[in-house]
Structure 1
Amino acid sequence: MIAITGYSGFVGTELLKKINTEECLLLGRKPILGNYKHQYFDLSNPVQDLDLNGIKVLVHCAARVHIMDDNSANPIDEFRAVNTKGTLNLAAQAAEAGVKRFIFVSTIKVNGESTTGRTPFNEQENAPEDPYGVSKAEAEQQLLALGQQADMEIVIIRPPLVYGEGVKANFASLMRLVNKGFPLPFRAINKNKRSLVSVYNLVDLIKICVEHPAAANQVFLVSDDHDLSTAEMVQLMAKVQGKSNWALPVPPALFSLAGAIFGKKQVVDRLIGSLQVDITHTKITLNWAPPYSVEDGFKFSAKI
């Protein structure tokens, strides 16, 4: 039997579509419709007892997610309370119950924020720059230590931006702007490269990691294996929606200047900079390749 946290989230919802309901235990605050077994679980509650007997694999998707312009009084403590301490509490109970494998959906932010001017990130790097990334990195390190001590297999997956039907935030906003035919100033941002992963490819990898023997105690990066510049991203969004691409050729240097003037350097860096991941280790170790192309993923996302 498989246990899943974060089942109502973007990744968890798609994962449930691929899992036999009779072999699935949901750990979370609220049950959902369907023939699922459910136990109450709150990742932020350090004192709670779970019955994980009979669970062979636990897929941990729940987290306190990254928030732009986080106004918390002490963000690092709040991220650690959930993403680090909460995860370790869950993993300790899993180990005590004899769970064989613990799959942790982490984040590429463990590697850092940018690959502009350097080679793509690999699975051996660890240089988080914000509280969310730090909390996930600390959870990874402590999970691997716990796994060795308790003889429980740990699998870590670090996705970059995840998108697909129902995605929200900047990806959805950009898709809608392209659909409305607004002339966007991104045509000249064509030298950067960004790795993305559709939720369909990510879930496929998670399913592989549930059973593949070579996944044990490994860190995997994941992507669609087709990196895009911002200009290419907008062009593909227009294509899958049957729209003309009215992007304008505004030089990237002007974006940098605007970011400096208005205090939005991080936002601009994500727009004009690069963030690439090298998934060679993932593909070779698991004999895996993304089953969906990036164009497939954009087509599904166009349904938002």
Structure 2
Amino acid sequence: MTMGGRVLVTGASGFIGSHLVKRLIDANQNVLVVGRRRPALEVEFLAAELDDSQALQAALTDVDVVIHLAGRAHVMRESHISPLDEFRRVNRDLALHFATQAKHSGVRRFVFISSIGVNGAVTQDAPFSELSNPAPHADYALSKFEAEQELERLFSGSDTELVIIRPPLVYGADAPGNFSRLLKLVRHGVPLPLAAVQNQRSMICLDNLVDFIMVCASHPAAANQCFLVSDNESVSTPELVRLLAEGMGRKARLLPCPDFMLRLGSRLVGRAAMYTQLCQSLVVDTSKAHKLLGWRPQTSAYDALRTVGQQYLQTKIR
């Protein structure tokens, strides 16, 4: 399904954005990229900050769809005195300024990539859905939730349609953050004390997310909707490690460790969030996307994780 008009993408030099722009180009879309850094692709590019009203006004001329991926995330070593203020400045305030320009320029649809963190960090008895009460668990998630609220107010009653997408962890061979660390540990055969973990995690592979973003940018029924999305299968952390190792042609090295020791150890080294990601459950209900848009993941989580392991190994042995 094509978008028809011109598509403007922010965050195109990032993990998700670079792959999305390539897919859009392959689909013969007319693409414009706006940001600080030119992506490593042959695409029309405008170097501009998202608070540069004059540059944005010119860039948004004749743009039909905006896909806003730019933001602050995966901060491994925080340097700001007030991280929340910086998350709000980038993820909320700049997004709102940019969206205001898009509205004034007559953009038909604004697609905002948010985060499952808006719903919370952990699921207990039921999966998260679009009807779940928001419970942002960290500065990043709170800034995304506040951005969602501001964007909904901005576009309410206007001719510009808003689509919000809340993906869980997005993985791929070149993924940033903790997933990149996990790939490295699996590749080097480092023993991981995760054999006894009994959880379920919803994630989404990069190709599935890019496909879903493209559907949301064009499907009439996506207008003014919020979607939770995933690979549709949840996997435990031990399964995740085994599938990555299988893709690398290696045997997963998993050791049993009591949950209380994992929890205590993560707190002692200041990595409580890592314990949450690796040991607790986060399950997403994607039925709205299936029913309203007819969307199904192109690749299963099991196949995608094996493929990611294989791709990661290939990039390291070249």
Instruction: State the TM-score bracket (shorter-chain normalisation).
Output: over 0.9
Unaligned runs of 5+ in 2: 1-5, 313-318
For residues 183-214 of structure 1, the C-alpha deviation after alignment (integer angstroms, 9 at most, x for no partner) is: 3221111x211111111000000010111000
Question: TM-score, with normalisation over the residues of structure 1?
Answer: 0.93
Percent of pairs identical after alignment? 41
Correspondence for 1:5: 10
1:66 deviates by 4.3
1:81 aligns with 2:89: yes
Q: Contact 1:61–1:105 at 8 Å: present in 2 too?
A: yes
40, 43, 49: which one aligns with 2:55:
49
1:260 deviates by 4.1
Correspondence for 1:287: 294
Q: Contact 1:163–1:297 at 8 Å: present in 2 too?
A: no
Q: Contact 1:196–1:227 at 8 Å: present in 2 too?
A: yes
Matched residue pairs, number?
301
240, 248, 251: which one aligns with 1:244:
251
Question: TM-score, with normalisation over the residues of structure 2?
Answer: 0.89
Give the Cα–Cα distance (whole angstroms) in 1 for the partners of residues 42 and 253 of structure 2: 47
1:48 deviates by 4.5
Give the Cα–Cα distance (whole angstroms) in 1 for the partners of residues 295 and 164 of structure 2: 16
Q: Contact 1:101–1:154 at 8 Å: present in 2 too?
A: yes
For residues 103-131 of structure 1, the C-alpha deviation after alignment (integer angstroms, 9 at most, x for no partner) is: 0011111111111x331111133111222
Give the Cα–Cα distance (whole angstroms) in 1 for the partners of residues 283 and 169 of structure 2: 11
Q: Contact 1:46–1:86 at 8 Å: present in 2 too?
A: no
Correspondence for 1:300: 307
For residues 216-240 of structure 1, the C-alpha deviation after alignment (integer angstroms, 9 at most, x for no partner) is: 0001111111111111111111211
Alignment of 1:31-70 (within 5 A): 31-32=38-39, 34-43=41-50, 45=51, 47-50=53-56, 51=58, 52-68=60-76, 70=78
Q: Which residue identity is paired with 2:249?
A: G
150, 157, 166: which one aligns with 1:142:
150
Distance 1:260 1:83, change over 3 A: closer
Q: Contact 1:240–1:295 at 8 Å: present in 2 too?
A: no
Distance 1:251 1:86, change over 3 A: same
For residues 124-176 of structure 1, the C-alpha deviation after alignment (integer angstroms, 9 at most, x for no partner) is: 33111222111111111111121124321000001111111211322222222
Correspondence for 1:95: 103
- Matched residue of 2:200: which SS? coil
Q: Contact 1:22–1:35 at 8 Å: present in 2 too?
A: no
Unaligned runs of 5+ in 1: none
Correspondence for 2:202: 195
